Amino acid sequence: MGWTFKLHGGVAAGLGATLLLLATLTWLPGALPFTGARWLAAAIFVSLFLTFASALVRLIMRSADKHAIWMAFRCLPGKVQMALGALALWGVVLLVFSTATEGNLQSAEVRDGRYVAFDTTPHARDTVEISQSRYQDVLESDQRTMLAIPGVLFLGAAYAVLAAGELRRADGAVVPSGVT
């Protein structure tokens, strides 16, 4: 596997792990310092788009089926497989627990000195007033989701690019049938 595949996969896995760590930190008391930062969401989106799109292009260029991609991933060193698997499991568990505990409120904000959030309860969708502590809980839940979903997608990009690198290495090792 070429060094560009390793670098691309490492950056994607590192960004995914960082986002999952930040999402996990939202369960600690107090708010994270960048709760209202709009630039963070834009930076995550742009880097995720570039990383994920280029990983998919690399994988598509190999034109392999799902089984070949899985077998290429299985050819990676065991520590890499274990690290990506553990991070992906961490991300899925984080999303499941976040979804189970968040309730029906989202998009908390302050309007005219009052704390409000959008209630997504079926047949009662409306903006409702909430307490300050519930406001903080909804903010943390929104932030957890905003960090965990891109984190898992970054790990998917790492999987794709590392599997594509293994496929490329395997394709280069195949001797054409007419050569002795």
Tens of pLDDT, residue by residue over 131-161, are 777 777 777 777 888 889 999 999 999 999 9
CA-CA distances (angstroms) from residue 159 to 10, 47, 162?
Answer: 10, 16, 5
63 part of a folded domain: yes
Q: How confident is the model at residue 32 (pLDDT cuts 50, 70, 90)?
A: low
Spatial strand order of the sheet with 105-111 comes to 105-111, 114-119, 126-130
32 part of a folded domain: yes
Q: How confident is the model at residue 120 (pLDDT cuts 50, 70, 90)?
A: confident
129 part of a folded domain: no
pLDDT of residue 96: 86
What's the sign of the alpha-carbon dihedral 116, 117, 121, 124?
Answer: positive
d(CA 2, CA 51): 17
Q: Is the pLDDT of residue 164 over 70?
A: yes
Q: What is the mean pLDDT of residues 104-126?
A: 77
| Structural domain count of the chain | 1
Residue 126 CB contacts under 8 Å (≥ 6 apart), including other chains: 118, 119
pTM of the model: 0.81
120 part of a folded domain: no
180 part of a folded domain: no
110 part of a folded domain: no
Q: How confident is the model at residue 178 (pLDDT cuts 50, 70, 90)?
A: low
Amino acid at 37: A
For 8, the domain range is: 3-103+143-173
d(CA 119, CA 106): 7
Let me know: does 3 contact 112? Beta carbons within 8 Å: no
157 part of a folded domain: yes
Q: Is the pLDDT of residue 127 over 80?
A: no
Q: Is the pLDDT of residue 36 over 70?
A: no
d(CA 163, CA 169): 10
48 part of a folded domain: yes
pLDDT of residue 25: 87
